[in-house]
Amino acid sequence: MATSTKSMKRTERKARTAPVALDDIDRRILALLQEDNQITNLALAERVGLSPPACLKRVRRLRDEQVVVKDVALVDPDKVGQSIVAFVGVELDRQREDVLAAFERKMSSEPEVQQCYFVSGETDYLLVVTCRDMEAYNEFARRVLANEHNIKRFRTSFNLSRVKYTTTVPIDG
């Protein structure tokens, strides 16, 4: 399938929302929350130069407008025995909308799949998969990927060393 057709169909199905208007204080709040989302409102207000009620009002607005979408704890995969990180490029046989949606539902339901991206180019999807060891990855690949009739091929690259990892989104001014 041509890249332009592929990306056009995905854009039609899942349109991106317009960016929310942010001022400098909103950006500072977001930067601080991305570093430590457990900072108290009092400390956050002090750091951005607002009164605590004004700061809380802004944080609530950022949450209401889905700029801040979730508060999570980031877990070190090695410390919980999930030391294999695999990057899997998946090429599908057919790219009809119902087939794409079914593949996305399947990947969303698999706990080993940490991230799933619909991408341009020769590969249709890029997956980030974590497993405890190569045996667990092999079981995952056979159970999930090899049994999916619409997968034409998949290629896996394994992480040798994490050079950079961040969940921080740059907040441009």
Tens-place pLDDT, residues 19-75: 999 999 999 999 999 999 999 999 999 999 999 999 999 999 999 999 999 999 999
Number of domains in the chain: 2
Share of the chain above pLDDT 70, in %: 91
- Answer yes or no: do 82 and 150 share one domain: yes
Q: What is the reported pLDDT for 6? A: 54
Which two tokens mark 80? 């919980």
Whole-prediction pTM: 0.83
- Answer yes or no: do 53 and 99 share one domain: no
Check pLDDT > 60 for residue 125: yes
Please report, for residues 20, 90, 97, 112, 163, the alpha-carbon distance to residue 107 in angstroms, rounded to integers and kept in the order given: 29, 11, 15, 9, 26
- Answer yes or no: do 102 and 144 share one domain: yes
Radius of gyration of the chain (CA): 20
171 within some domain: no
Give residue-wise pLDDT tens across range 63-103: 999 999 999 999 999 999 999 999 999 999 999 999 999 99
Domain that holds residue 28: 23-64
Distance CA 117, CA 124 (A): 8
Q: Examine the fold and report which residue of 64, 86, 113 is the final residue of a domain before the chain moves on.
A: 64
